[in-house]
Structure 1
Amino acid sequence: MKIGKDGVSKEEYTKGKSLKSRFGKFSAKEFYFLVFIVILTSVSVVAVVVLTPTEHNEASNNEVSICYDKCRLTLVETIPENLTYPHGSPVHMDTYDSWSKLIDGASERIDIGSFYWTMRQEDVVEDPSAWKGEAIFQKLLDAGSTIDIRIAQNNNTDPMMMKDTEILASKGAASVRTLDFPRLLGAGIIHTKLMMADTSAFYVGSANFDWRALTQVKELGIMVSDCPCMAKDLQKIFDVYWILGEEGAVVPSEWPAELSTEINMDNPVALADAGLNETMYISVAPPAFLPDGRTSDLAAVLNIIDSAEEFIYISVMDYFPTTLYQEHNIYWPLIDDSLRAAAFERGVQVRLMPSWWRYSSNNMKAYLKSLESISSAVDDKVQVKLFEVPIVTPEQASIPYSRVNHNKYMVTEKTALITTSNWSGDYFINTAGVSVIVSQTEGSEPTEKNIHVQVKAIFERDWNSPYAKFLNLTES
């Protein structure tokens, strides 16, 4: 995979925060009406404005909107074959089951944002474990005869990575648009992995549309159900891809107003009617794909790190304080610096668990050693382990680009971020990705139902497993 060369300014990285409303909760009409009453009566008036609930209420900066949908949040995992944990370890919905529920439950439309497609075993190698991918592919073929399916995908150099979508389109089961990032941005790819049904339920996570992601690769995602308020917000992100997939499309200097959002880092949605003490918003990359109000992935990541008071646990496939895929790579320490500052300035425990597999670069160990080397100066607050999915059989060894922990998430004592991006500079500069951020409502008590509590348990299960081993600082 070759990701290109052009970047953006540091100022653009944090673009996407909502603008402060001049009048807070009041609309312009309400404001002038109140002024009129004050003048008319010549007394001080205390006004209570009752907003009619639609999908959510508008909120002033640093407040929350309220979602009146049921909004069920479910963590979704793929645990590869032969990767086992002790009895009583956290268990969550399988990725295959999540995608099946979305497809089977759709009555009008399915939208999919994707990097590449290898759902059939003939796309990779023949192996019995490909059956889940084959089944999902057939479900899409069948569903496409009665509902609309739209797929936005990357323009991959390997035609076999787009063969499945070619078949879906040729059989009339899906409309497919391909994003050419080198033409649109001069570099980059779409690395998003999302599926949405009827603008009501969706999956966002690490799993590619690849049969290996259902049986041979460790994945983590989140399924949000019965939640039009958030699905409609995600729809705007998919619409950006769909627009840019049109022939001759260009990235506009200003995105249409209908793609703007009021749901962001400063104004998350409170899932009140779901009985959850949680808020949620969705962030995206790259900066060029940010309509008004949308939080950037980098802004979300840095805000979560900078807000942590107790711990920061991170599980990503790759961790580099550099770019990796540029023609001339650059040092890019924004996240690395924030982690060091969290440990040094606030005493926050930082645990980082990248993946190690047959395609890993030894250079990653050098950067990890550098980060962990400060631990002795910060009361051992920085720890690093590498997670390795074992290759148990000769058949598994013959499956390329498999047997890896592909998770991409961060969790603190109050927030979980589940993303589609690895952590090197490229994924924040010119790569399309999506993150779902779920936080505990301020002032509430955490319970086992909270997403961040469940994600923490997943991290600790993996961290304490025999598959995760401490980085040896003396290792060459």
Structure 2
Amino acid sequence: MRRLYFSVLVASLFAGSAHADFTIPGYELVHTSPVETTLTNPDLREPLQVWSELFDGAKSEIVIAQFYAVSKPGTAFEKVLASLTAAGQRGVKIRFLLDQKGVGLSEASTIAQLKAIPNLELRIIDFNKVTGNGIVHAKYLAVDGKVAYIGSQNFDWRSFEHIHETGLKITEPAMVGQVQAIFEQDWQAQALTAKGEPATVRNSTTVPANYAQNAFLLASPNAYNPPGVGDSQSGLPALLAEAKSEVRIQLLDYAPLSYGPNRTRPYYAVIDNAVRAAATRGVKIKLMVSNWNTEAPAIAYLKSLALVPNVEIRIVTLPVASTGFIPFARVIHSKTMSIDGKLAWVGTSNWAGGYLDLSRNLEVVLRSEAMAQRIAALHEQTWSSSYAQPIDINKPYPKPAKGTPE
């Protein structure tokens, strides 16, 4: 019956979409449907269109923060770079913040291309110097202080064609201002840490969000959040504690593990405890992760979670592109949640240690039935597809092919 409900909901959302967009006041849901899959969503605009539109409309300033940057000649992503270049050429000031660890994942030619854009200042921040073991994992931008974008999309041509991604275009003034303030905080942190000085600590104690709001921003790490921005690490468990009937979650990775020295994976139970507590109360948990999550030791924890009553886990494997294997692509990368069909979460964090505590990430929370149900329907589309399979606790999963073919 529930599957029928979601099928009807998706059909009604798609019906008569004269122009493709799904919006509530102040927020538009934006989505990349991986090419050569059945996961199409005619009512959702693609980030290729939205990002290009934002850059084309910029009048004074664009700020962008990303983990890494990879372009490829001849791909659709070139339109985004062309729009960004055109903005710089007409005098728009562009500030681009890139993470030091992400430089190793970036293409040197792409960084050179960015540096060549007129009026663009590129800074590399070593977030390790801010928190001791973190990265700028957030993927966001703001234009003219009036519109922002937060989502799972990296500044990567593959994220616009071959990866399942979800984000939000934001025009609500208060949240846009908070996004801008986070960028300014990290831009200043880069300047300070580059001189060997510590980044300015904003909060010495945990700052919870005002959970009664209809829309609010969570971010990490808490110590470096500007005023008005709630703490992600305490916010996620607090929202899960509200759940009464069903939580739908889509992620690249889920594991109660962090990242330590020498490739160690210290135990990190904050999120896992909250998920298990919700299931124990009788809340149905539908957790969908990518096939990259089958790597040891994370797969052992997924199998353990699957044994908990009221928890269902499905693993999604997208088919190889017709052009052949593409490194670090053909995967679900969206980070979304719907609680009871009433609350929507769209963010940049994987659900593991190191993301909500030590790294820069942003999460948008909306108390909107329309957005929550659209996120749930997007989840159901993949959940019920041929690409998603229930986790098999007796199966020895092979090491996933990420950067090289099997």
Do Structure 1 and Structure 2 share a fold, with TM-score over 0.5? yes
Please say if residues 68 and 105 of structure 2, whose CA atoms lie closer than 8 Å, have aligned partners that are also in contact: no
Report the counterpart of residue 467 of structure 1 in structure 2.
387
AA at the equivalent of 1:230:
M
TM-aligned CA distance change 1:160 to 1:349, over 3 Å: closer
Following superposition of structure 1 onto structure 2, how do residues 44-59 of structure 1 map, counting pairs within 5 Å? none
Counterpart selection for 1:401 from 313, 322, 328: 328
Q: Secondary structure at the match of 1:428?
A: coil
Report the counterpart of residue 17 of structure 2 in structure 1.
none
Report the counterpart of residue 432 of structure 1 in structure 2.
360
TM-aligned CA distance change 1:324 to 1:311, over 3 Å: same
Question: Higher RCO, 1 or 2 (CA under 8 Å, sep at least 6)?
Answer: 1
CA–CA distance in structure 1, aligned partners of residues 317 and 42 of structure 2: 19
Q: For 1:229-277, what per-residue CA distance to the aligned partner results, in whole angstroms no more than 9, with x for missing partners?
A: 2211111111111111213264445439xxxxx9x721665xxxxxxxx
Quote how far apart the aligned CAs of 1:337 are.
1.2
Report the counterpart of residue 298 of structure 1 in structure 2.
233
Please say if residues 133 and 211 of structure 1, whose CA atoms lie closer than 8 Å, have aligned partners that are also in contact: yes
CA–CA distance in structure 2, aligned partners of residues 173 and 216 of structure 1: 31
Q: Secondary structure at the match of 1:245?
A: helix
Report the counterpart of residue 336 of structure 1 in structure 2.
272
Q: Secondary structure at the match of 1:176?
A: strand
Report the counterpart of residue 136 of structure 1 in structure 2.
80
Counterpart selection for 1:371 from 281, 305, 327: 305
Q: Secondary structure at the match of 2:258?
A: coil
Quote how far apart the aligned CAs of 1:90 are.
6.5
CA–CA distance in structure 2, aligned partners of residues 300 and 90 of structure 1: 32
Q: Secondary structure at the match of 1:144?
A: helix
AA at the equivalent of 1:401:
F
Structure 1 segments of 4+ aligned residues over 6 angstroms from their partners? none
TM-aligned CA distance change 1:255 to 1:281, over 3 Å: same
Report the counterpart of residue 27 of structure 2 in structure 1.
73
Please say if residues 184 and 250 of structure 1, whose CA atoms lie closer than 8 Å, have aligned partners that are also in contact: no
Please say if residues 111 and 195 of structure 1, whose CA atoms lie closer than 8 Å, have aligned partners that are also in contact: yes
Report the counterpart of residue 319 of structure 2 in structure 1.
390
Please say if residues 107 and 198 of structure 1, whose CA atoms lie closer than 8 Å, have aligned partners that are also in contact: yes
TM-aligned CA distance change 1:405 to 1:133, over 3 Å: same
Quote how far apart the aligned CAs of 1:109 are.
1.0
Report the counterpart of residue 20 of structure 1 in structure 2.
none
Q: For 1:137-191, what per-residue CA distance to the aligned partner results, in whole angstroms no more than 9, with x for missing partners?
A: 1111111122111111101352744543443334434111111123333222111
Q: Which runs of 5+ in 2 are unaligned?
A: 1-23, 397-406
Answering whether residue 195 of structure 2 is matched by residue 248 of structure 1, we say: yes
Quote how far apart the aligned CAs of 1:388 are.
1.2
Please say if residues 71 and 107 of structure 2, whose CA atoms lie closer than 8 Å, have aligned partners that are also in contact: no
Quote how far apart the aligned CAs of 1:451 are.
1.2
TM-aligned CA distance change 1:254 to 1:472, over 3 Å: closer
Q: Secondary structure at the match of 2:159?
A: helix
Q: Secondary structure at the match of 1:199?
A: coil
Please say if residues 120 and 137 of structure 1, whose CA atoms lie closer than 8 Å, have aligned partners that are also in contact: no
Q: Percent identity?
A: 28
Counterpart selection for 2:135 from 189, 197, 200: 189
AA at the equivalent of 1:192:
A
Corresponding pairs, count: 364
Answering whether residue 249 of structure 2 is matched by residue 314 of structure 1, we say: yes
Quote how far apart the aligned CAs of 1:360 are.
4.8
Q: For 1:74-111, what per-residue CA distance to the aligned partner results, in whole angstroms no more than 9, with x for missing partners?
A: 1111111101148xx67411111111121112111111
Answering whether residue 51 of structure 2 is matched by residue 99 of structure 1, we say: yes
Following superposition of structure 1 onto structure 2, how do residues 30-49 of structure 1 map, counting pairs within 5 Å? none
TM-aligned CA distance change 1:249 to 1:409, over 3 Å: farther
Structure with max Cα Rg? 1
CA–CA distance in structure 2, aligned partners of residues 250 and 267 of structure 1: 35
Report the counterpart of residue 217 of structure 1 in structure 2.
163
Answering whether residue 180 of structure 2 is matched by residue 239 of structure 1, we say: no
AA at the equivalent of 2:80:
I
